[in-house]
Amino acid sequence: MNELEKILLIGRTGKGKSTLANVITNTYKFRESMGSASETRSIQFETIKENSINYLVIDTPGIGDTRLTNNQVLDIIAEAVYLVRDGVCRVFFVTNGRFEQYEMTTYNLLRTIIFDEYITRHTTIARTRFKDFKNKNKCLEDIDSMINIGGELAEIIGSCQKKVVHVDNPSVEVEDEEELTSNKRKRVKSRERVMEHLRENNCQGVPYKPPKLESLSQEITNDYNDYLEKKEELRKELENLKSSESLVKISQISTFESGNNNELISERKELMIEVESDIKFISVEEKIFQLEDKKTRLKREIEKKEKIIRQKVLKHILNGYNAIANEIGDIKKINPERLRSNEIEELRNNYCNQLDKETVPCVNLETLNLVDNNFTGSLESLKGLIKLTSLNIKNTLLAGSLDYLSGMEQLRELYISNTDINEVNIYKLPRSLENIEYSTNERPDCKLTEIVPLLEIENLSVRTKRQLSFSAEIQGENKSVKLEDLVAELEPMEIEDN
């Protein structure tokens, strides 16, 4: 069996991934960006055979790029996972040595979402734009200087055993003949470097297939196959449609011509021809109608599949959130703060358009900020987040009862301004609450207005409690104040439960 060694190229936009892909595959099939605007937004891949080894070279767009929409990112992850579902042989982290902000985003995201800490064992730094790539000493010096700069790149270089391949793949879109020849030669030489590196660092039959990749690929492979089949079907239909449309044109022309040419021929004959071409005309039109119908149906089915796949990827990301957070916490190698606070949180907040039980499985989550989102539905899905200390659902369309928060015994801050939350049993609210923000100024017609009086009582009790415990502290007493005791006093003021 001919195994495919999968080579995954990742890195920030403009670092030379597509160019490197062309160099490795010895083609110009990958789109090299001339300006920053023309970069590709989807995955491209090609196979090559070299020394009887089959390689699949996969070029990814920088998924940390803000220019991509959330759906595009999910699609890219899905496709990448599908392509490397049997494991990846080498990951080329492409960089030009100039370390920039967000340089590691793609790497870190893939590492946390589909790979694990062992990704470094299968990673090679592809250092592009290195003019002295043929000089071994200069290459070694460059590795040292990258390590000396420190930071994440240095750590990666260290943990991938200094596996760095230096290349220079200048553009071939140049006018000057001499320059073109020279640039092409540099590409050829660079290619030799890369292929040599691949020979030395092949998978030896054991591709890297970490559990996260395995589970997500299992999750989406069937859907992805369906999706690809449908896309192929659609492609064929479109082709059919095209040829049918040209048939219509031909038949229209023939109707016209037959009318003209038959002027001198007997009426009967003319009529016959007209009738004949009419029949043909109608049947082709009907066919087009059927094909159009099929096209619309297929498109709809494809969209549906896309959605399912995206949801599965999203679910995988959010399900893994805890494990991911733990893993980062343990390893502390890849700047855990940034990863946690920006990237994963960003993913969470941006991608979560719908609150359901599956999308909120992060039991260790302490802060959840969903402010200014279009979330609808109830808070039931948050029930399990028992470690939350702060919950902000301000300016969302979340509705219903606050009772779902009753198990959150560490919840101190709650922001529910301008929502449709309209049920509360203040006895069930977490005792730990220190602050509830429940303004309705920005949306005076929101349903929250219905329970504002109750919340005022709650806030009063919270404040009283704080004052009491404060004075107890001052008095050196270790007296814990029970909320029930306080609300018992407030009970006469309570407005009927709704």
Ligand X SMILES: Nc1nc2c(ncn2[C@@H]2O[C@H](COP(=O)(O)OP(=O)(O)O)[C@@H](O)[C@H]2O)c(=O)[nH]1
Q: Report the interface residues with Mg ion, using CB under 5 A.
A: 17-18, 40
Q: Are 5 and 55 in contact (CB under 8 A)?
A: yes
Residue 461: name its binding partner from Mg ion, ligand X, none (Cβ under 5 to 8 Å by kind): none
Site size for ligand X, by CB under 6 A? Answer: 20
37-56 mask for ligand X (x: CB under 6 A)? --x-----------------
Helix 151-159 to helix 136-149 angle (10° resolution) is 130
Select from Mg ion, ligand X, none the partner in contact with residue 14, using the beta carbon and a kind-dependent cut-off of 5 to 8 Å: ligand X
Contacts of 61 (CB under 8 A, 6+ apart): 13, 39, 40, 41, 42, 43, 68, 76
Nearer of residues 12 and 316 to Mg ion, judged by Cβ: 12
Residue 391 corresponds to which tokens in the numbers above? Answer: 């919950």
Q: Residue with the closest Cβ to ligand X?
A: 16
Q: Alpha-carbon distance 281 to 247, whole Å?
A: 9
User: What are φ and ψ of residue 83, in 5° steps?
Assistant: -65, -35
Q: Which residue has the tokens 């590691």?
A: 104
Cβ 191 to Mg ion, closest distance in Å? 18
- Report the alpha-carbon distance of residue 20 to residue 167 in Å, rounded: 9
3-state secondary structure of 10: strand
Which residue number, 187 or 312, has a Cβ lying nearer to Mg ion? 187
CB contact at 8 A, 240 and 248: no
Name the residue nearer to ligand X (CB basis): 189 or 287: 189
Instruction: Calculate the alpha carbon distances from 380 to 297, 384, 407, 412, 446 in Å.
Output: 36, 9, 11, 19, 20
* Residue 128 binds to ligand X (criterion: CB under 6 A): yes
Whether the CB-CB separation of 361 and 318 falls below 8 Å is answered with yes
- Of 16-24, 66-74, 107-115, 135-143, the segment contacting ligand X by CB under 6 A is 16-24
The secondary structure of 28-53 as a DSSP string is S-S---SSSTT---S-EEEEEEETTE
Shortest spacing between CB 313 and Mg ion, in angstroms: 22
Determine which residue in the list 5, 6, 10, 13 makes contact with ligand X, applying CB under 6 A: 13
Partner whose footprint covers residue 167, from Mg ion, ligand X, none (CB < 5 to 8 Å by kind)? ligand X
* Closer residue to Mg ion, CB minimum distance, 125 or 433: 125
Of 8, 10, 18, 360, which one interacts with ligand X (CB under 6 A)?
Answer: 18
Do 166 and 127 touch, CB atoms closer than 8 A? yes
**Part of the chain binding ligand X (CB under 6 A), chosen from 11-19, 272-280, 459-467, 472-480:** 11-19
Residues 6+ apart with CB under 8 A from 461: 426, 483, 486, 487, 490
- Which span (14-22, 251-259, 335-343, 381-389) binds ligand X, by CB under 6 A? 14-22
Q: How far is the CB of 184 from Mg ion (least distance, A)?
A: 20
Residue from 5, 32, 79, 237 in contact with ligand X (CB under 6 A)? 32
Phi, psi for residue 313 in degrees, rounded to 5: -65, -45
* Partner interacting with residue 419 (select from Mg ion, ligand X, none; CB below 5-8 Å by kind): none
Which stretches within 262-406 are classed as H helix?
Answer: 267-319, 321-331, 336-338, 345-351
Using the minimum distance from each CB to Mg ion, give the nearer residue, 110 or 314. Answer: 110
Least distance CB 18 / Mg ion (angstroms): 3
Q: Interacting stretch for ligand X, rule CB under 6 A, among 45-53, 72-80, 163-171, 207-215?
A: 163-171
Contact yes or no for 230/305 (Cβ under 8 A)? yes
Decide: helix, strand or coil at residue 94: strand
Give the pair of three-digit tokens for residue 164: 């760095």
Q: Which is nearer to ligand X, 190 or 359 (CB)?
A: 190
Tokens of residue 47, six digits = 């196979």
Residue 406 contact, options ligand X, Mg ion, none, Cβ 5-8 Å cut-off depending on partner type: none
Q: Does 17 bind ligand X (CB under 6 A)?
A: yes
Question: What is the pairing mode between strands 413-415 and 420-423?
Answer: unpaired
CB of 159 to ligand X, least distance (A): 23
Q: Is residue 87 close enough to count as binding ligand X by CB under 6 A?
A: no
- Pick out residues in 294-313 that bind ligand X (CB under 6 A): none
- Closest to 123 measured CA to CA, from 86, 80, 85, 94: 94
Of 33-41, 98-106, 108-116, 276-284: span binding ligand X (CB under 6 A): 33-41
Q: Which of 71, 135, 161, 171 binds ligand X (CB under 6 A)?
A: 171
Compute the least distance from the CB of residue 21 to Mg ion, in Å. 8
Which residue in the set 4, 26, 29, 33 belongs to the binding site for ligand X (CB under 6 A)?
Answer: 33
Q: How far is the CB of 4 from ligand X (least distance, A)?
A: 22
Q: Is 14 in the site for ligand X (CB under 6 A)?
A: yes
Among 169, 251, 373, 418, binds ligand X (CB under 6 A): 169
Please check whether residue 83 is in contact with residue 75, taking contact to mean a CB–CB distance below 8 angstroms: no
Q: Which is nearer to ligand X, 127 or 348 (CB)?
A: 127
One residue of 87, 109, 110, 170 binding ligand X per CB under 6 A: 170
The residues, any chain, with a CB within 8 Å of residue 447's CB and separated by 6 or more, are 399, 419, 420, 421, 422
Taking CB under 6 A as the rule, does residue 129 contact ligand X?
Answer: yes
Binding-site ranges for ligand X (CB under 6 A): 11, 13-19, 32-34, 39, 94, 128-129, 167-171
